[in-house]
Amino acid sequence: MRIIPAVFALFSCLAAGAAAAQAYPAHPIRWLVPYPAGGGADNVARVVTQRLSQKLGQAIVVDNRPGGNTIIGTQALLSAARDGYTVMNTAEQVAVNAALYPDLKYSAERDLDFVAPLVRTPLLLLARRDLPVSDAAGLLAYMKERGDRLTYGSWGQGGMNHLTMEALAARVGVHPTHVPFPGAAPAIRDLLGGQIDLYFSDPATALPYLRTGKLKVLLVSTRERLPYLPDVPTVDESGYPGFDMYSWQGVLAPKGMPPQVRDTLAAAIRDTLQQPDVNRELRDRGFIPDPGTPEQFRAFFLRSQAELGEIVRKRNIRIQ
């Protein structure tokens, strides 16, 4: 007869979870962004949450928590209730941190729930205007000859454009000097001024400078060319097959949110990304919408964490 209370308890939990999902969201959602306002993650957050809040019938408050290579924002997420009312618009930095910080107090796999992928972002290799190369072949030959004397910028230590450049340099067999900046704007400023030679940029930041001829673009980091830059070759087709790197974003929550709530939010995000106006606005800003399931995002995140961690270890990248 003891089985009856256990069965009753199981059905009570299932009923409570279903009721929570049916009522969700009953009040505003906090959408953490572990980067400053105005950056790529913040842009995606504001485009997506505006339509998502309409779909869910509740306000979504974007809360920027920059600093510490996303660690400050992630800690704020982990201290929140596990009820689906606090989530985080993250980028690949959260995955990279496992390799960059050996003493990190949390584990993404152990402590986070994977809600949904959001976007992927190709990276464009920009060069200062007076760098004596005019195309991809010329750049790669120049790198082989002078690679250890080249300098390149990034938007931060361990950022995706840092790792993309290190992955390319590893394939070419050189060790250019990395110059980290506190964001894209100061890096672009020094590229324009000739203080650095190269910089992997997101398209939204790069395109205004390309249109005016102030900078030149020589390579695309993804396997396929971009429709708005059809003449710019990829690394893959320039002699390094299999090279396919991009920045990405997704939504995380503290581990333990009700599965029904997670699935409700994930489905709403997926539907939002597939709305024509949202899809178009993201693409106009240089982002590629990437709708998917929690399971797909989890598998992708862990695979990315392993691949990016391998670059960190092989290139001996350390926080300075």
The answer to whether residue 3 is domain-embedded is no
The per-residue pLDDT for 318 is 84
The answer to whether residue 257 is domain-embedded is yes
State whether 218 and 259 are in the same domain.
no
Q: Say how many domains are in the chain.
A: 2
pLDDT in tens, 130-176: 999 999 999 999 999 988 899 999 988 888 999 999 999 999 999 99
State whether 156 and 257 are in the same domain.
no
List, in sequence order, the alpha helices (H) in the chain.
3-23, 40-56, 71-78, 93-100, 108-111, 136-146, 160-172, 184-192, 203-211, 259-273, 276-284, 294-314
| Boundary of a domain, candidates 217, 238, 259 | 238
Q: Are 117 and 250 in contact (CB under 8 A)?
A: yes
The per-residue pLDDT for 7 is 47
| Boundary of a domain, candidates 238, 273, 290 | 238
State whether 253 and 220 are in the same domain.
no
Using pLDDT thresholds of 50, 70 and 90, give the confidence band for residue 40. confident
State whether 146 and 169 are in the same domain.
yes
State whether 163 and 86 are in the same domain.
no
| Boundary of a domain, candidates 238, 261, 283 | 238
Nearest to 21 by CA among 228, 266, 314: 266
Across residues 265-291, what is the average pLDDT? 96
pLDDT in tens, 204-262: 889 899 999 999 999 999 999 999 999 999 999 999 999 999 999 999 999 999 999 99
Kindly tell me if the per-residue pLDDT of 200 is higher than 70.
yes
Position 163: which residue type? L
Using pLDDT thresholds of 50, 70 and 90, give the confidence band for residue 22. low
Helix (H, G, I), strand (E, B) or coil at 277: helix
The per-residue pLDDT for 20 is 52
Looking at every residue in the chain, the average pLDDT score rounds to 91
Conformational region of residue 197, where left means phi above 0, alpha means psi within -120 to 50, and beta covers everything else: alpha
State whether 253 and 114 are in the same domain.
yes
Kindly tell me if the per-residue pLDDT of 36 is higher than 80.
yes
The answer to whether residue 101 is domain-embedded is yes
CA distances, 285 to each of 21, 120, 206 (Å): 33, 12, 11
State whether 95 and 169 are in the same domain.
no
CATH for 198: 3.40.190.10
Structure tokens at 108: 């993404």
Q: Are 127 and 134 in contact (CB under 8 A)?
A: no
Position 31: which residue type? W
The per-residue pLDDT for 292 is 97
State whether 36 and 87 are in the same domain.
yes
- What is the spatial distance between Cα 157 and Cα 143, in angstroms, rounded to a whole number? 22
Nearest to 62 by CA among 27, 39, 91, 87: 87
The answer to whether residue 20 is domain-embedded is no
The per-residue pLDDT for 102 is 87
State whether 217 and 128 are in the same domain.
yes
- What is the spatial distance between Cα 160 and Cα 158, in angstroms, rounded to a whole number? 7
CATH for 286: 3.40.190.150
Kindly tell me if the per-residue pLDDT of 320 is higher than 80.
no
Question: Does a cis peptide bond (omega within 30 degrees of 0) precede residue 66?
Answer: no
Q: Are 89 and 269 in contact (CB under 8 A)?
A: no
The residues, ordered by sequence, that sit 6+ positions from 162 with a Cβ below 8 Å of its Cβ are: 154, 155, 156, 178, 180, 317
- What is the spatial distance between Cα 67 and Cα 129, in angstroms, rounded to a whole number? 32
Structure tokens at 142: 């120049």
Kindly tell me if the per-residue pLDDT of 6 is higher than 60.
no
The answer to whether residue 213 is domain-embedded is yes
Percent of the chain at pLDDT above 90?
A: 79
Kindly tell me if the per-residue pLDDT of 12 is higher than 70.
no
**Helix 93-100 / helix 294-314 crossing angle, nearest 10 deg:** 40
Q: Are 272 and 48 in contact (CB under 8 A)?
A: yes
Q: Domain residues for 138?
A: 124-238
The answer to whether residue 50 is domain-embedded is yes
The answer to whether residue 1 is domain-embedded is no
State whether 66 and 109 are in the same domain.
yes
pLDDT in tens, 85-132: 999 999 999 999 999 998 999 999 999 999 999 999 999 999 999 999
pTM strictly above 0.75: yes
State whether 49 and 186 are in the same domain.
no
- What is the spatial distance between Cα 78 and Cα 76, in angstroms, rounded to a whole number? 6
pLDDT in tens, 43-100: 999 999 999 999 999 999 999 998 888 999 999 999 999 999 999 999 999 999 999 9
Nearest to 54 by CA among 272, 290, 285: 272
The per-residue pLDDT for 123 is 96
Kindly tell me if the per-residue pLDDT of 15 is higher than 80.
no
The pairs formed by 235-240 with CB atoms below 8 angstroms and a separation of 24 or more are 235/168, 235/171, 238/136, 238/137, 238/140, 239/140, 240/168, 240/171, 240/172
The per-residue pLDDT for 259 is 97
- What is the spatial distance between Cα 85 and Cα 188, in angstroms, rounded to a whole number? 37
State whether 96 and 134 are in the same domain.
no
Burial (CB count within 10 angstroms: exposed 0-12, middle 13-18, buried 19+), residue 73: buried
Kindly tell me if the per-residue pLDDT of 309 is higher than 50.
yes
The answer to whether residue 86 is domain-embedded is yes
The per-residue pLDDT for 4 is 52
